[in-house]
Structure 1
Amino acid sequence: MERLLQRDGVVRLLSLLLAFILWVQITDARSADVTRRLTAVPLRAEHIGPDLVLQAPQALPPVDVTLQGPARDVERVRPDDLAAVIDLAGLGPGQMHTVRVQVRGLAPTVSYTVEPNVVSVFLEQRVSRPVRVTLGQPEIARGDQKYVLRLLRDQVQILGLRPNVDRVARVEAVVDPASLDGAGQREASLSAVDASGMEVQGVTLDPARVPVEVSVVRLPPARDVPVHPRFAGSLPEGYTFSVSVTPSTVKVRGPRERHDGWQEVATEPINLTGQTRPFAVQVGLILPPGAESMDYQSATVSVNVTELRTERVLADHPLAIRGVGPGLVARAAVEGVTVRLQGPKLALDRLDPALFDVRVDAAGLGPGRHLLEVRYDTPPGITVVSVNPSAVEVVISKSPNE
């Protein structure tokens, strides 16, 4: 019995020893350092200053985070526990900032590296200011009556990023003509435009619509009258032009007994001096005598300026014979040809006939009669319309001195 008890004690002691060894091994394994990589972790910005906006925040790139530390701490990290952030506290607008990426939500025993570890961001300032409202079309004519519009509110607030707000020159109010069916109050939609009249995107108007009072005025009878552009000055020598006008006709209103006297609506003078290329200009229209109103106050005149094309004839132009072999002589049936040229007047006037080479090529030909094609080099910008004759008989014979 005593031996049995002693043997049981030894077994228990060995069991405790084995359990202790196993615990030590497990503890060492969970305490050993391991590395773990998390990819495409979202990156967000924190502590952006008041009235500042991160330009294109959706462009913040995801980052890859590599963790290192005890296995028990690294393995329990879930991707949702991590926060990859850039701290924008104290950073101002209008310039590029390079900011270090930080990772939060980790145990103190876990270290990390980030790729990329810095990102570049640009901050813009959100501003607001009052802007004056103008009517894009204060009068709208329909049939024999005219709708006269008057703004009941001529100022709104514009909000947005500073570069966009600074571009805004004015706010235009537009009333849908289809909504005009009599006098009364209507709402006009608003759009912010720059100095050239192009709409500026990325801004908000408060309010987005303004009230407009509409009154109706009966119009005198109208007649369609063609628009005739007037010009001042002249093009440089050697140039000509053609014209198109938009609109080509306008409705002119006034007493019916004056209608027959309105043969044209003249534009303000358009200066042609020094113009050598096509151009377009918007000019005012001059109200004909006795007229009361027109449906357009200006027109766009497109002036197509081109070089004046003409012809020049080189009569009895010298014909050269080239390539005559050694010991041979050549004689053409004619000594000159007639060349008809076409092109810009200035280019034709400047052409030196002595530099215009007209020839036949006798290279490789022996004694006898040969019908040779007349050849030439076309001058730049000029067209050779015809050469007469286009082929010449050439007689080749041995030189008398041979």
Structure 2
Amino acid sequence: MKDKLFSNWGWKLLSLILGFVVWVTVLNVDDYSTTRQIRDIPVTLINTDAITDKNQLYDIVSGETVDIIVKGRRSVVNALGASDFTAVADMSKLSITNAVNITVTANSSSVNNNISITIVDNVLQVELEEEQTASLPVTVTTKGETAEGYTTGIPVSTPNLITVKGAASVIERIEKAEVQVDVSGRTSDVTATCTPIFYDANGDAVSGKKLESKVTGVSVTIPVYKTKTVAVKLDTTGVPADNYKVVNVEYVPNEITVGGPADVLQNLTEITVDDIDVSGCSEDLESTIEISKYLPDGVVLADENTSISVHVAIERNISRTMTISANDITIENKLTDYDYAVQFPEGNTVVISGLSDEVAKLTAKDLKITIDAETLSIGANTVELSIKDSDTYTVDSTCKVDIEVTAMP
């Protein structure tokens, strides 16, 4: 038995060697070399301070991800995915065309030694822009309607100023920082913390990857007041041009709804506008005024319409000379059995002035000239006529009359 085991050992060794060669051959045929494309490997940027330290910002134009072709043993290559590789772009090596090469390596050194990597497009392209900073006041707006009979007061925000930085092209578009608070159905003060949103001149929201602000929340308090309807009183100031006068003042609305603290509203009955200036005017004056500036401290306007339309009618005065006769003079308190004779020693005219429409239709009787007989004595009396001004005219000059008082026989 022992002889059989050790006999023909040469052939047996040869058989063993041939078996091993066959096994290696089969293994190599089954695990052949292959290539495979792996897509969308994220590119990591390093040394970005080489850009940001120059007060510049970058925006990736192309190359945020990269594709590679991997070559190696089938058993190795087929097991690989995007997460097995690291793609890097070194921003300190940015070219004058704002491009930088991408390098890709396998995360495992053993894998890295057994494959070859070809990058499909090995360039990352960026766009550079100057960084800019702006400080913006916080604008508070409301959404919804308070309960009926209530209105909102002036909001208070903390902070009331926001500093934002970002690409110059983005910052230059921003017009305001706004927060919005819902006041629907409220009858008491509203407190909220809101996220500010940046808007451009067209009212569109402005955003950007590099837009940064340290303020992420704004604390807002909005007082809610009861409302009250009060009258509007309007007066003019100044004097129109010579021979002109204000004949009428019309304005709408003549009452407004306001809100404010209860102790302030309690004593508020009207809003006075007394600075409609007609100085030197020779024609009608039309004006639109913002009523809010005439409100007392702590009072806010609750009406949607914030303005008052004013029309001041201004007309020209004319002068008219009127002839007076004795019949136009009424002597009051006459004594019985006395005769009163009126004469005009120097002329019998008076001059009045007023609006043309009013003055043109006046008669001497309309002047209502009277003389009190109790002031007269027996004999000759000289009296200067005293004629009162009226709402439609003024007396510019008058005349004297002689009155002879005699006892009748």
In the superposition, the TM-score normalised over structure 1's length comes to 0.43
The TM-score normalised by the length of structure 2 is: 0.43
